[in-house]
């Protein structure tokens, strides 16, 4: 089990809090269709294929980190790169499923503008301060996705890429 005090887990979970605070998002994406890699429920987290009710499906994936020790004289940071991915079950633009796809797309955009309310300052390791001083969605890529087994189109997919700067007091990182 992961350490819930770990600041990287906290930022990942705060991203879900951002999305789930938006009622348009929670209306469009049922809870079982939210792929959370920190979920402790004993179930298959990823589905291959799926029923119409399994869509839209949303996941947040950590992509990479860029550590920067001693970014200033007394602070260090990690740039966390992430993606938010939306999958729909249909490639037509005039269906309810795709309407939900656009609803989810816009809800993600709105949620990312509210990041300071959710993820600005927090503590880790019980009492050590950390902060997020930049959280931005950088770009999206929208296309018709393919079934990875049959290489046939299955529905619209949107991948949001973003970055988050997480800052620490260097003395907290170097303390033993």
Q: Which residues partner with 123 through β-bridges?
A: 129
Q: Is residue 111 part of a domain?
A: yes
Could you tell me which of 158, 162, 171, 100 has the C-alpha nearest to residue 129?
A: 171
Can you tell me the mean pLDDT for 40-64? 72
Residue with the bigger pLDDT between 2 and 63: it is 63
CA distance 119 to 135: 9
Structure confidence at residue 47 (pLDDT): 58
Task: Tell whether 140 is covered by a domain.
Answer: yes
Strand partners of residue 146: 153
CATH number, domain with residue 144: 3.30.2000.30
Domain count, the chain: 1
Whole-angstrom distance, CA of residue 92 vs CA of residue 113: 29
pTM: 0.83
- Which residues, listed in sequence order, are joined to residue 67 by a DSSP beta bridge? 78
Is residue 157 within 8 A of residue 88, CB to CB? The reply is yes
Query: What is the structure's pLDDT at 63?
Result: 93
- Rounded mean pLDDT, 42-46: 56
Does 1 fall in a domain? no
Centre a 10 Å sphere on the Cβ of residue 38 and count the other Cβ atoms it contains: 13
Do the domain assignments include residue 22?
yes
Domain range spanning residue 108? Answer: 7-37+52-174
């Amino acid at each position: 089990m992961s350490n819930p005090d770990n600041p990287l887990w906290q930022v990942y979970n705060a991203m879900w809090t951002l999305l789930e605070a938006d009622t348009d998002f929670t209306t469009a994406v049922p809870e079982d269709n939210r792929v959370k890699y920190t979920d402790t429920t004993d179930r298959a987290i990823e589905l291959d294929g799926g029923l119409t009710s399994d869509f839209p499906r949303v996941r947040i994936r950590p992509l990479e980190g860029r550590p920067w020790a001693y970014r200033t004289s007394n602070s260090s940071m990690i740039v966390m790169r992430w993606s938010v991915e939306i999958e729909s079950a249909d490639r037509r633009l005039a269906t309810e499923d795709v309407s939900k796809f656009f609803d989810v797309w816009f809800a993600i955009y709105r949620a990312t503008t509210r990041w300071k309310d959710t993820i600005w300052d927090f503590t880790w390791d019980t009492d050590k301060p950390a902060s997020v001083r930049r959280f931005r969605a950088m770009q999206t890529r929208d296309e018709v996705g393919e079934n990875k087994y049959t290489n046939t189109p299955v529905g619209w997919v949107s991948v949001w890429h973003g970055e988050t700067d997480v800052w620490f007091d260097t003395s907290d990182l170097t303390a033993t």
